[in-house]
Amino acid sequence: MRWQPHITVATIVEDQGRFLLVEELSAGKAVLNQPAGHLEANESLLEAAVRETLEETGWEVELTAVTGIYLYTAPSNGVTYQRVCFAARPLQHRPELPLDQGIIGPRWLTRTELEACPERWRSHLVARCIDDYLGGERFPLSLIRDASVPAIPSA
């Protein structure tokens, strides 16, 4: 059997102490997650994060930083995910846009409100990513390099 990790992105969007989360169905249960999803063909990690946030919440965002890169093996199915998590600021809500299948809707929660319902987290990464963000983890977006574009030689 060939082992292959799944590349995913997630976005931490904070506004006045509240975090944009997605209430979604997973295995028939309503759970909370960051706006997150899989990298698609011919797409950069940054493009994927912006796209997934819009598709799952109806929010246009501007990415501001990388908050962390996480390797996680889901106990439910044994699949390994590499999650690149970004920080972003909200720009505009587009409530007229249809949300992805399985999405119940966007939810704005404080960290305290999220802490009160750990049984609803899609995984422990939901709180871990927010806690890393709150702890000041911010790496420049330039950390993410598109290796398909040749580097420009320095003079």
CATH architecture assigned to 6-140: Alpha-Beta Complex (3.90)
Q: Is the dihedral of CA 4, 124, 32, 61 positive or negative?
A: negative
Examine the pLDDT at 153 and tell me if it is beyond 80: no
Domain boundaries, the chain: 6-140
Examine the pLDDT at 1 and tell me if it is beyond 80: no
- Distance between CA atoms of 71 and 122, rounded to whole angstroms? 15
**Which residues, listed in sequence order, are joined to residue 109 by a DSSP beta bridge?**
19
Q: Structure tokens of 36? A: 């997150």
At residue 142, the 3 state secondary structure works out as: helix
- Distance between CA atoms of 10 and 2, rounded to whole angstroms? 26
pTM (two decimals):
0.91
DSSP output for 40-76: PTT--HHHHHHHHHHHHHSEEEEEEEEEEEEEEE-TT
- The tens digit of pLDDT for each residue in 95-125 reads 999 999 999 999 999 999 999 999 999 999 9
Q: What is the mean pLDDT of residues 45-54?
A: 98
Q: Structure tokens of 131? A: 């806690």
Nearest Cα to 146, choosing from 8, 46, 11?
Answer: 46
Beta-carbon contacts of residue 109 (< 8 Å; ≥ 6 apart): 18, 19, 21, 32
- Distance between CA atoms of 25 and 12, rounded to whole angstroms? 20
